[in-house]
Amino acid sequence: MRIKAAVTMAKGAPFDIQEVELDKPKSHEILVRIAASGVCHTDEAVQQQFIPVPLPAVLGHEGAGVVEEVGSEVTEFKPGDKVGISFGFDGTCKNCLSGHPSACVNLNKINFGGIQPDGTTRLSLPNGQKLSTFFGQSSFATYAVVSEASAIKIPYDDIDLGIVAPVGCGIQTGAGAVLNVLHPDFGSAIAVFGCGTVGMSAIMAANIVGCSKIIAVGGNATSLELAQELGATHTINRREESDIVGRIREITDGGCDYAIDTSGNADFVKKMLASVGFMGKGVILGATGDVTFNIQEELMGDSKSLIGVVEGDAIPKLFIPKLLEYYKMGRFPIDKIVKFYPFEKINEALEDSHAGKCIKAVVRMD
């Protein structure tokens, strides 16, 4: 079928909305009319080829919409169902089978290799040139074909699909790092470096579980104010504080129990780890290059743990409905970090996101 999609033709090129061809869903796939898709820094990382997804491609990996058609063997969904879409995985490897699909041994191949889980792509230009699929969905488009395993049925008729969309990656990542990986003790202290979507989601999750000290570290005064509204008990403006680690240690009487870096900046990763106390746990959520540590002085000597986490170690079909339930209860206010843009302004949405003019940009196709 002929659809509209934002195509990334070459490294650094802006999104170009044009008509493309989308194949019909196969037996275990569904066709989704995309209502909205979150704009994530991972999309920008591919656009700039920091993450080398084969180009040309249709990006977008935080989609939500309405099921239009189902494959012959699909039983979970029917036309008219509201769904969110998350990452792709094979569902057959030992990690998937043990409840850790975000650690799927084929995760990178499926999500960043330009293919669907079955090894093919569903997209092409009108001239027949193949287009890479992204995260098994390519939701910067009016329609997407996705595996039924990556779709999550939304149990609420009255929820805005523009709110659902960003939960599929960034929000799930930040909240999951806290709720699924760290499991903070009640009354513990946590520091979050970076106040974007992932960081704000971690802050909201830490507030839900009852951390007594939640320290937000960022460089945007407006974002830091919002972090306090979302649950941060303390804020540190990295542009104004010369000794971030010292300030965190002062607030926490010697170091926090947990810390998360969402920035992907090597210096902040080191500061994040230095801010945790003896036997503290540090988590890296941002795509980060080389970082040099003195293992004895910065890690092992204080019995610290440094953990890399993908997609919040979540099972999306279970975790995303829980987050939406907390949103409905008013305890996980996703709407406070979202700004909407029409699909045709997708490049503006990315620019505003990159410039810190919004926390989470979401483009609407409706």
Taken in order of first residue, the domains within the chain and their CATH numbers are 2-168+333-364 (3.90.180.10), 174-310 (3.40.50.720)
> Is 81 exposed, middle or buried, given 0-12, 13-18 or 19+ CB atoms closer than 10 A?
middle
pLDDT digits (tens, 9 = 90+) for 233-242: 999 999 999 9
Predicted pLDDT of residue 56: 97
Predicted pLDDT of residue 153: 97
Q: Tell me the average confidence (pLDDT) per consecutive run of 10 residues in the chain, 366 residues long.
A: 97 96 96 97 91 95 98 97 96 96 95 88 94 96 97 95 97 98 97 97 98 97 96 97 97 97 94 97 92 92 96 97 97 97 97 90 95
Predicted pLDDT of residue 287: 82
Cβ 190 vs Cβ 210: under 8 Å: no
**Those residues with Cβ within 8 angstroms of residue 45's Cβ, 6 or more apart along the chain or in another chain:** 51, 287
Distances (CA, A) of 151 to 66, 108, 144, 159, 256: 11, 18, 11, 16, 37
Predicted pLDDT of residue 169: 96
Cβ 70 vs Cβ 30: under 8 Å: yes
3 state DSSP class of 63: strand
Alpha-carbon distance of 241 to 239, in angstroms, equals 6
Q: Which helix (H) or strand (E) holds 173?
A: helix 170-176
Alpha-carbon distance of 176 to 70, in angstroms, equals 29
Rounded to 5 degrees, φ, ψ at 272 are -60, -50
Predicted pLDDT of residue 263: 92
One-letter identity of residue 312: G
pLDDT digits (tens, 9 = 90+) for 218-232: 999 999 999 999 999
Single pTM value for the model: 0.95
Distances (CA, A) of 172 to 9, 96, 107: 29, 17, 16
Predicted pLDDT of residue 339: 97
Dihedral over alpha carbons 181, 183, 189, 191 (to 10 degrees): 20
* Side-by-side strand order, sheet with 123-124: 57-58, 2-8, 16-22, 123-124, 130-131
Predicted pLDDT of residue 200: 98
Predicted pLDDT of residue 41: 87
Predicted pLDDT of residue 349: 96
One-letter identity of residue 222: T
Alpha-carbon distance of 333 to 360, in angstroms, equals 13
> How many of the other CB atoms lie within 10 Å of CB of 354?
13
Predicted pLDDT of residue 220: 93
Nearest to 275 by CA among 296, 302, 310: 302
